[in-house]
Structure formats: structure tokens, C-alpha cells
Amino acid sequence: MSHSQVKTFPLSMRIFHWGMAALLLSLILAGLSMVQSLQPWQVTILALHKAFGVVALIAVILRLINRLRQPVPALPADLPAWQKLAARGSHVLLYAAMIAMPVSGYLMQSAAGRAVDVFGLFTLPPLMSANLAWYGVFRELHGWLAYALVVLILVHIAAALQHGLVRKDGVLKSMWK
Ligand code: HEM
């Protein structure tokens, strides 16, 4: 099927999209709460953050494979060229950030010499021997990437609303039903 023939995203892509939206929002809020308070329950949040972060890494890999195997709706033909470019560019950056976030988290834990336990189901081993300098680098990176991801998500939501409420061109609906 050619690109122009499909009007909506396949169900599998819509499930990945909204499922990961909820997962990433939870991870971001949990992450921000962890670095802002030292309540005893933060230890639980931290363990959940790491385990769900690994789930996010597995999910984005499956999502990318799924995305590359199927046709997606074409952008409206009358969309200005710069907006088409902005759409493609921001989507590539969103995928890059979705991969870099959990990878930097795992590297941070690796440099701390810690294995990552995923709900008691399996454990990711540290990839290097403990190294404080690298721990600092990956921790900083994880934080900066988080802010970049938040900015990307806000731009993404603004563009989706522009399509849905201003242009009313079916782009928002294509991810909805
Ligand atoms: C998509 C996946 C992930 C997202 C969106 C995410 C998001 C965040 C955010 C927003 C913060 C707060 C950053 C700050 O303000 O400095 C944070 C902190 C943290 N994250 Fe993640 N994270 C993800 C995956 C992971 C993974 C896989 C691990 C480890 C295996 C991890 C370990 C940590 C740790 C230990 C902190 C606290 C850092 C500190 O001590 O300052 N994260 N994360």
C-alpha cells in the first residue's frame, strides 16, 4: 500500500504512541520528583523508574521496527515545505531522545557499578567498572536529555493542536482513530 492510501496510523502504532506517551510522562515526573526530595519512598520510586526505564528502551526498539515495516499517512499536500521538514526533523529527534534517555540512565548506573533489576524478572549487568567521573558525565547527560525531551514533547503537542484546532486537516485524528 502506498503512503497516500492510508488515512490513519495502524492500530499497533497508535497503541505504541499513546502507551509510550503515558510511560514517558510517568518516567519524567518520577525522575523530577526523585531529584527534588529525599523522602523515604523515593527509594521505591527510583527502583520503579529504572525498571520502567528499561521497559521504555525495549518498547522504543519494538516501536521503531514496527514503524519501519508499515505505511503511514502522508502529511497534507498543502502543508508548507518548512512545516513538513519540521515535522520529520522533530519526529527523528523524538526517537533519538527516546533511545538516548534510557541508554544514558543505564550507562549512569553502569558507571556507578550497579546492575539494574527489572521487576525481579531479569538484571542488566553494569557495562563497566565503577568510575565516578563517568558517573557524573552520564548523570548530567541524563538530566539535560530529559529537558530536551520535555521541550520536544511540548513542541510536538503544540503542532498536534495546530493541526487539530487551526488547520483541521485530519493529522491529529490520524493518531486518534
Ligand atoms: C525513557 C526513559 C527515561 C526517562 C524519560 C527518564 C527521565 C528522568 C528524569 C526527568 C530525571 C530527572 C533528571 C534531573 O532533573 O536531573 C531522571 C533521573 C534519573 N534517572 Fe531516568 N529516565 C529514563 C530512564 C532511566 C533508566 C533506564 C535508568 C537506569 C537504569 C534511569 C536512572 C535514573 C537515575 C538514577 C536518576 C537520578 C539521577 C540523579 O541522581 O540526579 N533512568 N530520569
Ligand 1 center from residue 17 Cα (angstroms): 21
Query: Span 15-39, mean pLDDT?
Result: 94
Dist. CA 130–CA 123, nearest whole Å: 17
pLDDT tops 70 at residue 16: yes
Per the structure, the complete domain to which residue 20 belongs is given by 3-174
**Does 8 score more than 70 pLDDT?**
yes
Distance CA 16, CA 53 (A): 15
**Grid coordinates of 148:** 530536551
| Whether residue 145 has pLDDT greater than 80 | yes
CA–centroid distance, residue 2 to ligand 1 (Å) = 39
Instruction: Give residue-wise pLDDT tens across range 40-96.
Output: 888 999 999 999 999 999 999 999 999 999 999 999 999 999 999 999 999 999 999
139 lines ligand 1 (CB under 6 A): yes
The terminus-to-terminus CA distance of the chain in angstroms comes to 19
Which atom of ligand 1 is nearest the CA belonging to 124? 30
User: To test ligand 1's pocket by mutation, which of 20, 95, 142 has the most ligand atoms within 8 angstroms of CB?
Assistant: 142
| pLDDT at residue 37 in the model | 80
Domain CATH number, residue 139 = 1.20.950.20
Q: Give the integer Cα–Cα distance in Å for 172 and 113.
A: 44
**Residue closest by Cα to atom 36 of ligand 1:** 31
Cell 543505564: give the residue: 106
User: How many structural domains comprise the chain?
Assistant: 1
Percent of the chain surpassing pLDDT 90: 89
0.95 exceeded by the pTM? no
* d(CA 128, ligand 1 centre) in Å: 19
